Chain A
Amino acid sequence: MKFNSAFRHWSSLLALSGVLLAGSAQAQSGATECIAPAKPGGGYDLTCRLAANALQETGLIDKPMMVSYMPGGIGAVAYNHVNGVRNDDPNLIVAASTGAAVNLALGKFGKYDADEVRWLGALGADYGAIVVKADAPWQNLDELMQDLKTQPGKIVFGAGGTVGSQDWMKAALTAKAADISPRDLRYVAFEGGGESLAALLGDHIQVFTGDMSELRPHLESGKVRVLASLSEERLGGPYADIPTAAEQGYDVQWPIWRGYYMGPDVSDAAYQEWVNKLKTLSEKEKFAEMREARGLFPMSRFGADFDSYVKGQVAQFKQLAEEVGLTQ
């Protein structure tokens, strides 16, 4: 049974190499690291990879940046981890977004609040969008809002997050702009934008409050109509024809920034070095290409500017949450 013993030998080696393969990602040290506080493949992964690929390609870091995943609590697990365990790691940045600010405002990140970490900067943003099916009766935002005022129970909103999530906030702010209490809003929470869009196409919901970048594939298909972009100004390129909500007389804005934070006890020198790195990166032409390939619009806020921006946002969300009775 020579083969047999050889097979035994090899199979255990194979198992071991599999483990090493899985473990090697954790084993590198000294190099920079970005934690995506989610499973692979989502928006946080994209945020980390943008930093990792762009910093590497522009030569701002010499060793590849490692991207690791820490799903749990919509970012809460990573937030607690960075506050409690790797609180002074000068080589670690963590991906964050508007969604994290919403959860901080709702107190879902445990005992820590927005003042704990060092907010580093944002490299790009996405914007909310109000979408209806192509054969819907509403040609512009105003028509939708007028109908919403008269019969809020007949128009069902849907998006990929729970009540209280950033997806819901878009719907709630839109309702508020039409003087309707978000509490009276019919809102359905789906699992991600794709399911919401399917529900819109199947006439199960009437309005989808999604994000601009995920809509790009659908702009030309002629199946949906984007009534408003929730940005300060009209977005360029394929989105140039979409009016902002403000243009149509409703002051609703919803930027979804994609940025990073660091541990609370990182030295000022290390923090400043990262701020400079990201700032330099954001000015490179190559970076603009990479950002656009990922469906992100320009946004450059770094250091103290970003820090006060995030904290201001959290305060604003807190107020909104209290108004609609979301906080306990």
Chain B
Amino acid sequence: MFDFLIDGFGVALSPLNLGLAFLGAVLGTLFGALPGIGPINGIAILMPLAYTLGLPAESALILLAGVYTGAEYGGRMSSILLNVPGDAGAVMTTLDGHPLAKKGLAGPALGLSAVSSFVGATIAIIGLTLFAPLLAEVAVMFGPAEFFALMVFAFSSMAVMMGKDPIKTAIGAVLGVLIAMVGVDSGTGVLRYTFGLAELYDGIDFVVMIIGLFAISEILLMLEHANRKDAEDEMPPLGRVMVSLKELAHCKWTMLRCGLIGFIVGVLPGTGASVAGAVSYTTEKRLSDKEGTFGTGDMRGLAAPEAANNASAAGSFVPMLTLGIPGSGTTAVLLGALMLYNITPGPMMFSERPEVAGGLIASLYIGNVVLLALNLPLAGLFARVLTIPRWVLVPGIAILAFAGVYQLHSDLMAIYLMLVIGVFGYLLRKLGFSLAPVILGYVLGGLMEDNLRRALSISGGDLGILWQSGISIGLWVAAVALLVLPWLLPRVLRAWQ
């Protein structure tokens, strides 16, 4: 049954393909690290190149898959070092990653995130190898009603993030949902909150949102502190470079759990690395944050989203390879690449073009090892970004932010929008809001609304569809349990004693 994998390793270990896997990993890390260029753009840029170079199908796919997985590694760097997520999957990484860097633990944080990424991706690739066809059948059982229930579950698990200031968290999440409402209504095509501006029809783009909210507000905060000589302005000491085995052992269960969560979320079509990061972080906080250290630089809070976002990237290959249905925006582009090579994705691919299917899966194993080997030693080097003085760093981030948004949209309106959102983010931070609920509300709110509307247009407005299937009921029960149990359990226990 694993003949295709053995053959696949034969294909992937050829010098050309090995070189391409390495090149893809390096480029992907770079694309992930630069804000604004995520895996989708990276692949879209390289795909025509691979085709023009006349690379055989499996080699092209190996290169592009390397870029995809590499980007999930690279996205964490600016999250940890600068508090600016490099791509969608790395939003939650900022929560504990950046506080760690501020404590002078940037090196170990980068090392830990590389290891967590490796563990998460490995779990997912093994899952992909063993259970792909089976999982694909389960994935299509998720319809609009089930996705809606999943989003309800995600929102209720967000309650754990409320921590000190539940009202501000709730307001932040609602603001995020509000921003997600801008644009053409996905059901009826009616324009909402667009003020007659064609630039707003497609809604507020994720990259514009993330760069504005995080990078621009960060720049503004840095500027505010630029001329002060207070303690906060001191460079954090660089400290150790390598992550210790003890720290890794401390996070082992987190990595395993979150790798699994990320894989499952990745397999579902329509949800990607950002949802995986959010669900895993909140779940992990619920499970293991006994001392309330999450959000202040807890290693486990960093390992959770990092394991999950890499796992989801590998997971999204499941529906693509077995059903020919993309599990994420990036695999949708990869699917286009396959079509260009006249290859039929789907169950037939394993029998008709085993060298492509096997080679791709084998290259995921190899790419993952390459990425770990590449990222661990570099952690110390990258950590030195923190020693760059502010007068270099601030304009540097600004240039990257502006260039990143402009290359994506070739339109000044996107830049203005980014600046407005940036000022908005800055005000929120000055008022003591956390940005994570805003971005989660934005990501989950859009999905939640779309799927609610879809479910209701299937049923013709009958709300019953929302809890018709076993999957939805399970998710509803879990969501309610998450909200009620923490409040109920201690009381029940006390009554018992």
B366 within 8 A of A: no
| Chain A residues near B342 (CB-CB < 8 A) | 293
* 8 A Cβ contacts from B395-444 to A: 396, 399-400, 403-404, 406-411, 413
| Chain B residues near A35 (CB-CB < 8 A) | 410
B226-234, B246-254, B384-392, B483-491: which lies at the interface: B384-392
A32 within 8 A of B: no
Instruction: Please give the distance in Å from B265's CB to the nearest CB on chain A.
Output: 15
Q: A46-B336, A81-B411, A218-B346 are in contact. List 15 more A-B contacts (CB 8 A).
A: A19-B400, A22-B37, A39-B40, A45-B44, A70-B410, A72-B409, A76-B198, A108-B201, A190-B454, A191-B186, A197-B325, A199-B143, A216-B344, A221-B344, A293-B342
Are B450 and A191 in contact, with the CB atoms below 8 A? yes
Are B407 and A26 in contact, with the CB atoms below 8 A? yes
| Chain A residues near B333 (CB-CB < 8 A) | 40-41
* 8 A Cβ contacts from B342-383 to A: 342, 344-348, 381
Cα distance A239–B411 in the bound complex, in angstroms: 41
Residue of B nearest to A187 (CB): B457
Cα distance A23–B400 in the bound complex, in angstroms: 10
> Given the known A-B contacts A8-B392, A108-B201, are A19 and B399 also in contact in the complex, defined by CB atoms under 8 Å?
yes
- Chain A, 288-307, contact with B by CB distance < 8 Å: what is the 0/1 string? 00000111000000000000
Count of chain B residues with Cβ under 8 Å from any Cβ of A?
A: 76
Are A15 and B396 in contact, with the CB atoms below 8 A? yes
Cα distance A191–B271 in the bound complex, in angstroms: 11
| Chain B residues near A326 (CB-CB < 8 A) | 189
B13-21, B68-76, B134-142, B149-157: which lies at the interface: B134-142
Cα distance A19–B399 in the bound complex, in angstroms: 7
| Chain A residues near B305 (CB-CB < 8 A) | none
Instruction: Please give the distance in Å from A49's CB to the nearest CB on chain B.
Output: 6
Cα distance A7–B388 in the bound complex, in angstroms: 9
- Chain A, 212-238, contact with B by CB distance < 8 Å: what is the 0/1 string? 010011101101000000000000000
A87 within 8 A of B: no
* 8 A Cβ contacts from A58-75 to B: 68-74
Instruction: Please give the distance in Å from A243's CB to the nearest CB on chain B.
Output: 22
* 8 A Cβ contacts from B212-241 to A: none
Cα distance A71–B458 in the bound complex, in angstroms: 30
Cα distance A162–B192 in the bound complex, in angstroms: 14
Which 8 pairs of residues, A with B, have the shortest CB-CB distance? Answer: A40-B44, A204-B143, A73-B201, A202-B140, A162-B189, A73-B198, A76-B198, A164-B189
B340 within 8 A of A: yes
| Chain A residues near B6 (CB-CB < 8 A) | none
Are A189 and B454 in contact, with the CB atoms below 8 A? yes
* 8 A Cβ contacts from A160-194 to B: 162-165, 168, 186-192, 194
| Chain A residues near B143 (CB-CB < 8 A) | 199, 202-204
Are B199 and A73 in contact, with the CB atoms below 8 A? yes
Instruction: Please give the distance in Å from A205's CB to the nearest CB on chain B.
Output: 7
> Given the known A-B contacts A23-B403, A39-B408, A221-B348, are A188 and B457 also in contact in the complex, defined by CB atoms under 8 Å?
yes
The residue from A19, A72, A197 contacting B198, defined by CB atoms under 8 A apart: A72
* 8 A Cβ contacts from A70-106 to B: 70-74, 76-77, 79-81, 106
| Chain A residues near B185 (CB-CB < 8 A) | 162
Instruction: Please give the distance in Å from B142's CB to the nearest CB on chain A.
Output: 7
A4 within 8 A of B: yes
| Chain A residues near B387 (CB-CB < 8 A) | 4, 7-8
Instruction: Please give the distance in Å from A33's CB to the nearest CB on chain B.
Output: 11
Are A198 and B140 in contact, with the CB atoms below 8 A? yes
| Chain B residues near A312 (CB-CB < 8 A) | none
Are B460 and A69 in contact, with the CB atoms below 8 A? no
B202 within 8 A of A: yes
Residue of A nearest to B340 (CB): A293
28 A-B pairs within 8 Å (CB atoms) are namely A11-B385, A11-B388, A22-B36, A22-B404, A26-B406, A41-B332, A53-B48, A70-B409, A71-B205, A72-B202, A72-B411, A72-B413, A77-B198, A77-B411, A77-B413, A108-B201, A163-B187, A191-B270, A191-B450, A192-B332, A195-B325, A198-B319, A199-B140, A202-B142, A213-B339, A216-B339, A217-B346, A218-B346
Residue of A nearest to B331 (CB): A194
Residues of chain B at the chain A interface (Cβ within 8 Å): 34, 36-37, 40-41, 43-45, 48, 52, 139-145, 184-189, 191, 196, 198-202, 205, 269-270, 319, 323-326, 329, 332-333, 335-336, 338-340, 342, 344-348, 381, 384-385, 387-389, 392, 396, 399-400, 403-404, 406-411, 413, 450, 454, 457-458, 460
Cα distance A213–B339 in the bound complex, in angstroms: 9
Residue of A nearest to B330 (CB): A41
> Given the known A-B contacts A22-B403, A40-B44, A198-B319, are A186 and B408 also in contact in the complex, defined by CB atoms under 8 Å?
no
> Given the known A-B contacts A41-B333, A198-B139, A202-B142, are A217 and B339 also in contact in the complex, defined by CB atoms under 8 Å?
yes
The residue from A80, A195, A205 contacting B269, defined by CB atoms under 8 A apart: A195
Instruction: Please give the distance in Å from B207's CB to the nearest CB on chain A.
Output: 10
A31 within 8 A of B: no
Residue of A11, A22, A79, A216 with most partner-chain B CB within 10 A: A22
Instruction: Please give the distance in Å from A79's CB to the nearest CB on chain B.
Output: 8
Cα distance A156–B196 in the bound complex, in angstroms: 33
Instruction: Please give the distance in Å from B344's CB to the nearest CB on chain A.
Output: 4
Instruction: Please give the distance in Å from B65's CB to the nearest CB on chain A.
Output: 15
A136 within 8 A of B: no
Are A195 and B270 in contact, with the CB atoms below 8 A? yes
Cα distance A201–B136 in the bound complex, in angstroms: 10
| Chain A residues near B454 (CB-CB < 8 A) | 188-190
Residue of A18, A79, A81, A220 with most partner-chain B CB within 10 A: A18
| Chain B residues near A26 (CB-CB < 8 A) | 406-407, 410
Are B411 and A70 in contact, with the CB atoms below 8 A? yes
Instruction: Please give the distance in Å from A148's CB to the nearest CB on chain B.
Output: 15
| Chain A residues near B145 (CB-CB < 8 A) | 204
| Chain A residues near B52 (CB-CB < 8 A) | 53
> Given the known A-B contacts A26-B410, A198-B269, are A188 and B144 also in contact in the complex, defined by CB atoms under 8 Å?
yes
A109 within 8 A of B: yes
Are A40 and B40 in contact, with the CB atoms below 8 A? yes
Cα distance A77–B196 in the bound complex, in angstroms: 12
Are B140 and A186 in contact, with the CB atoms below 8 A? no
Cα distance A197–B191 in the bound complex, in angstroms: 26
> Given the known A-B contacts A12-B396, A74-B201, A217-B345, are A189 and B335 also in contact in the complex, defined by CB atoms under 8 Å?
no
The residue from B144, B336, B388, B460 contacting A8, defined by CB atoms under 8 A apart: B388
| Chain B residues near A197 (CB-CB < 8 A) | 323-325
Instruction: Please give the distance in Å from A237's CB to the nearest CB on chain B.
Output: 11
